Amino acid sequence: MLSRVTTEIDSRRLLPADWHFNAAIFERDHQFHLCYRLQSFDHELQKDGISRLAIASLDDELQPIRNHLLETPTGNDEDPRVIVGRTTYLAYNHNYTQHLTVLDEGLQIKDVITPQYAGRKTIEKNWMWFQQGDDLFCIYSIVPRWIVLKWNTKFEAEEIVNEEVRFDWPWGELRGGTSPIQTSPTEMHMFMHSVFDPPGSKKHLYVAGYIGIDARTFMPTSIGRYPCMVPDPTEPRVGSKVVFPCGAVKVEDDWLISYGHHDTTIRIDRLKNEELLHDMHIRPVSG
């Protein structure tokens, strides 16, 4: 098993909501921040209410010290990812469709972008955006085809990779997760999620895993032998048991990975890079 240190975000230090989850950790100007989802519950109708997005700045203990609400043009938004490079982008879902905005120096929404891609699906929740220099890319699909898009200045997409790739991963269909993080001229890393039904259970189980990517070809090179994060089995849960990774930051020899836990709380796991990439935990991907 991978060793880890888990920090649960103190919800009392976030903006008021019934639940906070699916948060993306990111670093800008030597400060860690957390873009998170606030979910209300309509107690009269007994169903989920409005979902909104906010950003918290974090202290050295990875706990919130300042918060501000994001005024998105859509409202009722979910599952943010923040992509930091020469530009800081915020990507999120609204009605199962991906949206993209630009954040200013104060981490407020400055510009709204409409990504144009002819191959868009009806439901598309988990694009994995990343930057290299001035260029913006995203991994649009993991399976059944590995599809990577490059965006021009008009935010029109060009498919630069569209290949069938077979992953040795028995824990359900691979889905999106964190933005890929480049750590060398040849290596990128991302943390995805997958969903499966455990034997004898009527509830889904969401787990998180690791994928290594060639930073030159954008093709996957490896996948974790086992999930690197699983839901806490000791906590009671009526619905599906969930870990949902949205953000990752490399800190010296460790990874900080933020995720929603059981769709009710936010956690950040610190994992050792050496353990994660050890041969026992990584196996190659076949093309």
Q: 212 φ, ψ to 5°?
A: -95, 145
For the domain that residue 240 is a member of, what is the CATH number? 2.115.10.20
* pLDDT 10s digits, 265-281: 999 999 999 999 886 67
Domain total of the chain: 1
Burial of 192 (0-12, 13-18, 19+ CB in 10 A): buried
The fraction of the chain above a pLDDT of 70, given in percent, is: 97
* pLDDT 10s digits, 195-213: 999 887 778 999 999 999 9
Q: Pick the range with the lowest mean pLDDT from 41-50, 133-142, 214-223, 226-235.
A: 41-50
Burial of 75 (0-12, 13-18, 19+ CB in 10 A): exposed
Q: 137, 161 in Cβ contact below 8 A?
A: no
Q: CA 25, CA 260: separation in Å to the nearest integer?
A: 11
- Residue 135 structure tokens: 């260029």
Q: Of 139, 41, 35, 19, nearest to 88 (Cα)? A: 35
Region at 46 (left for phi over 0; alpha for psi -120 to 50; beta for the rest) = left
* pLDDT 10s digits, 135-179: 999 999 999 999 999 999 999 999 999 999 999 999 999 999 999
CA 259 and chain centroid, separation: 7
Average pLDDT across the chain, whole number? 93
Please give the pLDDT value at position 280.
63
Please give the pLDDT value at position 233.
79
**What are the angstrom distances between the C-alpha of 120 and each of 128, 149, 152, 158, 217?**
14, 11, 17, 12, 22
- 3-state helix/strand/coil string of the chain: CCCEEEEECCHHHCCCCCEEEEEEEEEECCEEEEEEEEEEEECCCCEEEEEEEEEEEECCCCCEEEEEECCCCCCCCEEEEEEECCCEEEEEEECCEEEEEEECCCCCEEEEECCECCCCCCCCCCCEEEEECCEEEEEEECCCEEEEEEECCCCEEEEEEEEECECCCCCCEEEEECCCEECCCCEEEEEEEEEECCCCCCCCEEEEEEEEEECCCCCEEEEECCCCECCCCCCCCCCCECEEEEEEEEECCEEEEEEEECCCEEEEEEEEHHHHCCHHHEEECEC
Please give the pLDDT value at position 125.
80
Q: 227 φ, ψ to 5°?
A: -60, 140
* Residue count (the chain): 287
Write out the residue range of the structural domain in which residue 31 sits: 4-284
Q: CA 113, CA 283: separation in Å to the nearest integer?
A: 38
